[in-house]
Structure 1
């Protein structure tokens, strides 16, 4: 239906008949307008001009569809058509509109048809919910971020002591989301008894002026013990309630690393103290004998030399491990040498002690191109471990094998073997195997450094073992060209 009434005619008629309505129209804070059947804007109030950023002169005479976002135009057309041409007296929709400054606003649109002198008009109210929509979108983004980051977030309502939490919270505690939800009692029950009491006291004393920062241990649903760091802040909601919003972090790895560092310092101090004490004692005796040599001097010199060698090895291990952890590369001095000869040289100390027999098997004339000193270091480490951990295995076999495109060296003992759960950790830094409750010497760096040496050569390193079946430590090197 086409309208033949001009904007001026409408103003005249409307002002005569609806003076009271006009006052309300202008004073209401709801953005409002009146349009004709061609969707032309005939009248606007101040709230609408403030919403869109246009003056009333700029808006009157334009079509409302000029301000609609593209994605909403089709739906808006359909509703308008139904209202004007299908006899529906009103419609409602949520729509996006473009403001003068180019920004967007989201509005609830309510439109009601009325007639003046049998000519239809429509009164429209635009209720701005932009802030609410942005908040909703922000919450959705936050929810997705929490979901995909697995961040453990929790909220404790201090009125009813109920707890809301994220998926990351349930993953950390190993508890599935339950219909009954969680409360403070469920939460505290996950902590070990001593930590539970401390946390309970902190929660009872919390106030909007205080922050919560707590470290303690929980026992997950599967029985695993984890260290967690719980942080939070109390705040008062608009309705007067007090709640705590916070996060939880799994700090188990950090705590274990801290414990390993403390253990390592203790072990390193002990390992260095033993040879240094022996060296100091030998030097003191030699100092007393310097003016009157005795038959004991050669033995004391040998003991002092061994002590110095031991200190040198320990310090070298520490320096190498430090360089590797800082990403510094090992520098290789490659030469071509005979593996069997290198094995004999690095195992002289074992043969001289007479406690174990070194049996070299395989291809005796096989040569490799590598850093001889570092490869001997790996072999000596394997042999020393066999002597230390398999002390009852008097025969230690070193096998040299030629494989396609590589050479393989294996150190084999018939000792007690290694449990399967320890094998994946043997080449980790500071790891010290401990079988049957015995404590062995060493910094836990030998196999770690050996692995780095072989990796640098482009080879592989590993161990085959099982309890009661001995152990075979092995490494490979690329075959020389």
Structure 2
């Protein structure tokens, strides 16, 4: 403390004092913290004027009080220009139990500017002026009555003078006055009729008011029932999310603030009482998954669709975990993304189980490789000797064993491949080759039935890639078309050029694939409904195809209409360098 300072000098007000002053003050006040009119602060007096018990801080004025939409352009002009707006006796619609009542206010919108002159907030104060306007109107009415009374007094004085001057004339005009009196009586009778008619109208009006009151009471009951249904639905949703260990979140894109459920915070290793915003989320995602995360979110916003992504995170205690996140962007009237709403689920246990299963399959497949090789060699030896065997049953058994051995070999190859891809041990053997020759080789040894007509649409183009791996993908596509679209009379195999990429496709005209099944076709170990058809392998073929294409920095997919056939395709760059 400065030794020359006066201890009796008042201390400067701090932010907490100002907030307390605004909160407890009788002046109705609300503070908007963005050009979109996000509500950063509101005191009790303003809540009472708005006829609200509470609002959600951080939400927009258009969401919390849509009845004040007409004032938003004025507020935004104050924000843009930095110039205050003051107006007296402005009418605003106040929501009273679902009914908008025009109510007069004196209002002031005063911008708060930073050191650079930019608006950082707007303080909105309002004062109801019903009583003042009623008093002003009463004073005006009284003044009018006084003026009328003065005029009337002046008229009376003039009439009195005229009466004094014309007293004798009035005596002479007594008969004429009686006639006028008769006319006045007739006018009075007419006024009485009008008065009776007004009473009847008033009676009808009172009946209409009673009917409106009854409708109002019925509306209140309906609204109460709807609120009860809404609360029940919210409770059911909360219970369902809790039962599934799903955490919900609501992200405000502009501010990066997130409203998270307790379960959502627990999924990321945070206690329920701690804030968890988008910046915290980005920080806990491991670096190798961030670009994929941003890409998925941006794609969902640009395509106005939902996203589903799995990524690895690190908890505050250093432990590594896996998260599955789903989200759907929300857009304003101009089409700008303003929110993302979604759910998260902790899938660490599932991922660990998957890793253990992959490890087991890798070990098992390598252990099986040697005895299967021996069995295959013995069967090949038997196959050479079967022409000398006279027992037809033995020959049939040898053929059956060979077919079974081929199936086992396919399964073993798939298991070995999937374990390599899971461990990231697959390396591409790049070479430059002709696309037309590549497609010709892919169909050279495939078992086409006589009913299949193969149409080949190729390119005279050279690309650089792992020819054997891509041929593995094409053969898988073609085999699936032969096996699962046996009724298709035509199979179209194509290659098309798209700028610096080449797209390969196999189209059949069989039964097609259901939409739900097509979403999971490239998942590991997934096998859909084959409608009674035999299935060789373990559901790994298309998963391995997807990994091969991904290794080439390409994309893979299927377009199918149930009942009209399927088109399997993949697209890779012309060069991998």
TM-score normalised according to structure 1 size: 0.40
Comparing both structures, which one devotes a greater share of its residues to helix? 2
The higher relative CO (CA closer than 8 Å, separation ≥ 6) is in 1
TM-score normalised according to structure 2 size: 0.34
